[in-house]
Amino acid sequence: MPRPRQKKPGQVAVIVPAAGSGTRMGGTRKQFRRLGGLPLLLQTLLVFERHPDVHQIYLAAPADAVDVLRMELEADGLTKLRDVVAGGGTRQDSVHAALRVVPSDVEVVLVHDAVRPFVEANQLAVLIATARAEGGASLAIPVTDTLRRGHDEQFRETVSREHLYRMQTPQAFRREWLAKGHQHAERLGIQATDDVNLVQAIGCPVQIVPGSSINMKITTPADWDLATILWPHWEASHENRTAPPTDATPDA
């Protein structure tokens, strides 16, 4: 008897929202500043270009940068880049704009901030495998600081940190879950700071995948200084290291 043919895993796409204006960085488009000799955006995109489990890249960029980025990123050798779209007024709008051009046969969609270049390839592999198996997953790290509310320059009650996590990206979902989450949010006027919130709002569970604190979001000038110090060490310890292929054989 012929063995039943195993279904091949579907395509994995990543959406990178990069249409922000860097208000907390002092009004500079931090995603285009150079880190380790290349624009921060490109350093982040290269993580996915080099990862065997990711097949397609979609970028949401400031409207005035869409055309030039299309040309430049192709010249930079980003073979997985499928489209660059104009982002929106919020991160959520930018992700939604890119999600609209992701083909419906894509199985899993990742969302990852352009300003988080320090992603571990092995964590990315675990995240993708978890999203394939369970439908939704995000990198996150348990809170380790003592938490306390404050009002009028005075501390008030202490907040238990038990069961609390600092959410990171990438976050990964079945394409339909993410699409439904964004449609639902648009209908109800919900604005959220990450995609887990939108997917949970339609009742879908999201799994915790351990991240690491080096996967920082470069938000303030102090973050930028720290990223500049970290970069040479990161680059030296990640040179020539690619994640071992897992279940990455795509359908197409």
Rank residues 21 and 158 by Cβ distance to ligand CTP and give the closer one.
21
List contacts with Mg ion (CB under 5 A).
Answer: 20
Distance CA 173, CA 153 (A): 40
Q: Which stretch, 21-29, 129-137, 143-151, 227-235, contacts ligand CTP (CB under 6 A)?
A: 21-29
Residues 1-20 that bind ligand CTP (CB under 6 A): 17-20
Distance CA 108, CA 91 (A): 20
Work out whether 135 is an interface residue with ligand CTP (CB under 6 A). no
Work out whether 123 is an interface residue with ligand CTP (CB under 6 A). no
Rank residues 20 and 211 by Cβ distance to Mg ion and give the closer one.
20
Q: Could you tell me which residues are beta bridge partners of residue 207?
A: 137
Distance CA 30, CA 170 (A): 19
Number of residues that bind ligand CTP (CB under 6 A): 22
For residue 39, the partner it binds in Mg ion, ligand CTP, none, with Cβ less than 5 to 8 A by kind, is none
For residue 161, how many other CB atoms are within 10 A of its CB?
Answer: 13
Among 52, 90, 101, 176, binds ligand CTP (CB under 6 A): 90
Rank residues 55 and 112 by Cβ distance to ligand CTP and give the closer one.
112
Work out whether 238 is an interface residue with ligand CTP (CB under 6 A). no
Q: Which stretch, 49-57, 113-121, 140-148, 227-235, contacts ligand CTP (CB under 6 A)?
A: 113-121
Among 11, 56, 94, 130, binds ligand CTP (CB under 6 A): 94
Work out whether 22 is an interface residue with ligand CTP (CB under 6 A). yes
Residues 58-77 that bind ligand CTP (CB under 6 A): 60
Distance CA 40, CA 136 (A): 27
Residue 10 amino acid letter: G
For residue 24, CA distances in Å to 44, 83, 105, 166 come to 20, 28, 38, 19
CA 86, chain centre distance (Å): 17
Work out whether 219 is an interface residue with ligand CTP (CB under 6 A). yes
Contacts of 160-168 with CB under 8 Å at 24 or more apart are: 165/140, 165/141, 165/208, 166/140, 166/141, 166/142, 167/138, 167/140, 167/194, 167/196, 168/116, 168/138, 168/139, 168/140, 168/141, 168/211, 168/215, 168/217
Q: Which residue is nearest to ligand CTP (CB)?
A: 20
